[in-house]
Chain A
């Protein structure tokens, strides 16, 4: 139970720190900032007597469980940070449960939320893509993160078009 309680406590401390920092000022690179917070909390616990009082195997178990839970939160946070086209539409439809939306209203809703343009803007902002003479090109060396995802995807076939 010591492992479980320690993981819960570490995650709780990291989340409180995350909320306080976000309330003071929203970081520009939010995911990176989150990873730094989770890392600092774990290192602080490790550097303090917390880890030294435990057998090595328990400290490693805490490290593994904490890392897995934190990564899950970071992944979920990326959904919170951005907008899902599907969830945004479902939210509007739920809010207008009785009257619903006409095809024209759906089009208008989308025109106000240019998802593809927003994703291109995010790629440019993160320095992975740049605009050059009216064309979007890969900026610098291809991202390892994207290469890993796309390489893994080849294990079971090409990416089909569509949203």
Chain B
């Protein structure tokens, strides 16, 4: 039964993966984030069910059951986070897209073609449009302002960590002395 508890986060992750793919395919690829959250929740329910089953079968105390749940929740949460980032790489990473496009051509891509397909201005316009639609950015009298604070908060955490660990704010800035 101990090995059953050990493997329950892995089993829950497998359920998470299958559920996420099913949910995304059911929505014809239009609700990516919802499929990630849905898949994670389905996996979490399975994790809880597996652990409760194991605890009941083994006759462990409530204290032991709570300890198992804490460790397995951390393990499953971390595995789920890794899976989300793995899937998200294929969905949104510019680096992956560039690699895919170069790999898809026999003789590579010229700098000119790349500039045309990945125009920095066009990318930013697209990004701005998405940020405006989500309410993170608001346009007022022809000027852009921060809207909802969630991305500002995430940015503050990331840039704070960057300053603390790397000693710089941006990859475009040299390390401070």
Q: Do A and B bind each other?
A: yes
Which residue of A83, A135, A157 contacts B170 across the interface (Cβ within 8 Å)?
A83
Residues of B within 8 A of A50 (CB): none
Q: Which residues of A contact B (CB under 8 A)?
A: 1, 3-4, 7, 19, 22, 26, 55, 57, 60-61, 64-65, 68-69, 71-72, 75, 77, 79-91, 93-94, 97, 99-103, 106-107, 110-116, 118-120, 122-123, 128-129, 132, 134-138, 142-143, 146, 149-150, 152-153, 155-157, 159, 161-163
Which residue of A69, A84, A86, A103 contacts B131 across the interface (Cβ within 8 Å)?
A86
Residues of A within 8 A of B175 (CB): 26
In the complex the two chains form, what is the Cα distance from A162 to B166 in whole Å? Answer: 30
The tally of CB-CB contacts under 8 A between chains A and B is 215
Residues of A within 8 A of B152 (CB): 90-91, 93-94
The verdict on A155 contacting B107 (CB below 8 Å), with A71-B78, A119-B98 known, is: no
7 contacts between A and B (CB under 8 A): A68-B74, A77-B165, A99-B143, A102-B143, A110-B120, A153-B90, A161-B97
**Is there an interface contact between B144 and A93, defined as CB atoms closer than 8 Å?**
yes
Residues of A within 8 A of B75 (CB): 61, 64-65, 68-69
The verdict on A152 contacting B86 (CB below 8 Å), with A83-B171, A107-B121, A115-B123 known, is: yes
**Is there an interface contact between A111 and B120, defined as CB atoms closer than 8 Å?**
yes
In the complex the two chains form, what is the Cα distance from A134 to B142 in whole Å? Answer: 39
Q: Mark B4-27, 1 if CB is under 8 A from A, else 0.
A: 011001100000000001001100
At the interface, yes or no: B62 with Cβ under 8 Å from chain A? no
Which residue of B6, B10, B110 contacts A57 across the interface (Cβ within 8 Å)?
B6
In the complex the two chains form, what is the Cα distance from A19 to B165 in whole Å? Answer: 7
Looking at chain A's contact residues, the main secondary structure is: helix
At the interface, yes or no: B45 with Cβ under 8 Å from chain A? no
At the interface, yes or no: B53 with Cβ under 8 Å from chain A? no
Interface bracket on B: 35 or more
Instruction: Give residues 129-177 of B contacting A (CB, 8 Å).
Output: 131, 136-137, 140, 142-146, 151-152, 154-156, 158-159, 161-162, 165-166, 170-172, 175
At the interface, yes or no: B49 with Cβ under 8 Å from chain A? no
Least CB distance from B147 to A in Å reads 9
**Is there an interface contact between B21 and A134, defined as CB atoms closer than 8 Å?**
no
**Is there an interface contact between A150 and B100, defined as CB atoms closer than 8 Å?**
yes
Least CB distance from A21 to B in Å reads 11
The verdict on A64 contacting B10 (CB below 8 Å), with A91-B152, A118-B171 known, is: yes
**Is there an interface contact between B111 and A100, defined as CB atoms closer than 8 Å?**
no
The verdict on A135 contacting B155 (CB below 8 Å), with A3-B67, A123-B99 known, is: no
At the interface, yes or no: B108 with Cβ under 8 Å from chain A? yes
Least CB distance from A1 to B in Å reads 5
Residues of B within 8 A of A146 (CB): 96, 99-100, 103
The verdict on A163 contacting B74 (CB below 8 Å), with A106-B124, A149-B86 known, is: no
A118 to chain B: closest residue by CB:
B171
Residues of B within 8 A of A111 (CB): 120
In the complex the two chains form, what is the Cα distance from A154 to B5 in whole Å? Answer: 33
Residues of B within 8 A of A99 (CB): 143
